[in-house]
């Protein structure tokens, strides 16, 4: 299962709002919310765009977790 | 509630009302049996479907309007595809069940009033709209609830 540190990195490293992040990567704020709540898996393009805006390697932003964990 | 969800909810309510209206028309005594002779029924159904498709048209125009600031992103497309896949299955099941029900009901008579075929045609449109709209609402609800 794909998980992410989006919320933590957005708040600590870059400190931008969900709306600002959404505007910069070209999606809606609801999509950022869904991502932060691990309810939506982004496309590779969106994942790379998020990593670029948040100045974080994509593998630090997204990681795989076993379903039973 | 996001704008996509609001629009979809509005669309679902409209098509539900169209379905309800159609049900009320076709269940009146003699309507199915005298399908071809009843001009008022045809006009009433035409108005109902005009209302349904008119709502769809207005929603599409609002979505396209730059002034309204409606944004569709990759999640919207993903959710739409998912809802349409579910809707496709719902429509298949609906047509199958409807056709089999008609067959079992009229099997012994050997003939069936032609009105039922019209009802199948009309109700397939309603089933398709609700079959996509309701799953869309459920998918968004799952993703957007806190």
pLDDT digits (tens, 9 = 90+) for B12-64: 999 999 999 999 999 998 888 888 888 888 899 999 999 999 999 998 888 88
ipTM: 0.78
CB contact under 8 A, A30 and B144: yes
**Joined tokens for residue A3:** 């998980």
As a whole number, the mean pLDDT across chain B is: 91
A53 contact B CB<8A:
no
- Going from the C-alpha of B4 to that of each of B53, B73, B80, the distances in angstroms are 18, 11, 10
CB contact under 8 A, A34 and B143: yes
Which H helix or E strand runs over A63? Answer: strand A62-64
A26 contact B CB<8A:
yes
Model confidence pLDDT, tens digit, residues B98-146: 999 999 999 999 889 999 999 999 999 999 999 999 999 999 988 877 5
Cβ neighbors of A48 (< 8 A, separation 6 or more) are: A58
CA distance A14 to A54: 6
- Which pTM value belongs to this model? 0.83
């Amino acid at each position: 299962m794909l998980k992410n540190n989006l919320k933590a990195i957005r708040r600590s490293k870059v400190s931008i709002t969900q709306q600002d992040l959404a505007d910069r990567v070209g999606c809606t704020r609801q999509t950022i919310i869904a991502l932060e709540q691990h309810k939506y898996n982004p496309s590779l393009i969106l994942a790379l765009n998020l990593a670029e805006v948040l100045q974080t390697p994509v593998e630090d932003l997204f990681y795989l977790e076993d379903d039973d964990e | 509630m996001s704008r996509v969800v609001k629009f979809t909810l509005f669309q679902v309510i409209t098509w539900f009302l169209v379905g309800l209206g159609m049900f009320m028309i076709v269940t009146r005594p003699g309507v199915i049996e005298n399908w071809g002779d009843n001009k008022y029924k045809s006009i009433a159904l035409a108005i109902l479907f005009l209302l349904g498709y008119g709502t769809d048209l207005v929603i599409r125009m609002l979505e396209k309007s730059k002034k309204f600031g409606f944004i569709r992103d990759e999640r919207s497309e993903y959710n739409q595809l998912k809802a349409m896949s579910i809707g496709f299955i719902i429509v298949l099941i609906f047509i199958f069940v409807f056709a089999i029900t008609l067959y079992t009901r009229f099997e012994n008579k050997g003939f069936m009033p032609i009105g039922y075929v019209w009802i199948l045609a009309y109700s397939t449109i309603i089933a398709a709209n609700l079959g996509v709209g309701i799953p869309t609402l459920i998918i968004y609800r799952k993703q957007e609830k806190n």
